[in-house]
Amino acid sequence: MGRGVWHCRQALAPTAASAIQPLWLIDLVRGITEAQAEGEEACDGHMCRRFSAHADLNRAADEVPYQMALPQGIDQIAKLTRIPVEVWMDTEGLIRRIRHARRQPHRARPDTSTLELREFGVQPPSDWSRLEAFGGLQAKRVTRGGQV
């Protein structure tokens, strides 16, 4: 994907899931098992806390009703339980950015996929209050008419 912009002009079928699609990152964060706060920074005008985390792909796959794709560069089953991911959350508890870097043995720099949620954030797709780094963070539930 490089530094290009990914635009989705049509609905994606769940069976067409690919680890190179940015929406795969939303599924991946469902499997976060550990996280560490890394500081604060702005994401498109929103002040956010950045977390470095590890996700378990099996745990993430249990949360979705379709098959998740395997990321490139995974050469051992054990690595599926510690996939590195970064998450930026705004002051409302909404995800504003997700990034995953894949190390490739034949490249000096990792391949990076980043999903930027500029117009609106996304609620954490799982209960992360059990993770110490999130400090018991509870995302606000949002409906079309406002907050619940």
What tens digit of pLDDT does each residue of 77-101 get?
Answer: 888 899 999 999 999 889 999 998 8
- Encode pLDDT of 43-55 as tens digits: 888 899 999 999 9
Q: How many CB atoms lie within 10 A of CB 18?
A: 13
Q: Is residue 7 part of a domain?
A: no
Domain count, the chain: 1
Q: Is residue 73 part of a domain?
A: yes
CB 72 within 8 A of CB 104: yes
CA neighbor of 19 nearest in space, from 80, 77, 94? 80
Q: Is residue 29 part of a domain?
A: yes
Structural domain span for residue 54 = 15-147
Q: What is the Cα–Cα distance from 41 to 143, expressed in whole angstroms?
A: 27
Q: Is residue 107 part of a domain?
A: yes
Q: Is residue 2 part of a domain?
A: no
Q: Is residue 9 part of a domain?
A: no
Q: Is residue 5 part of a domain?
A: no
- pTM tops 0.75: no
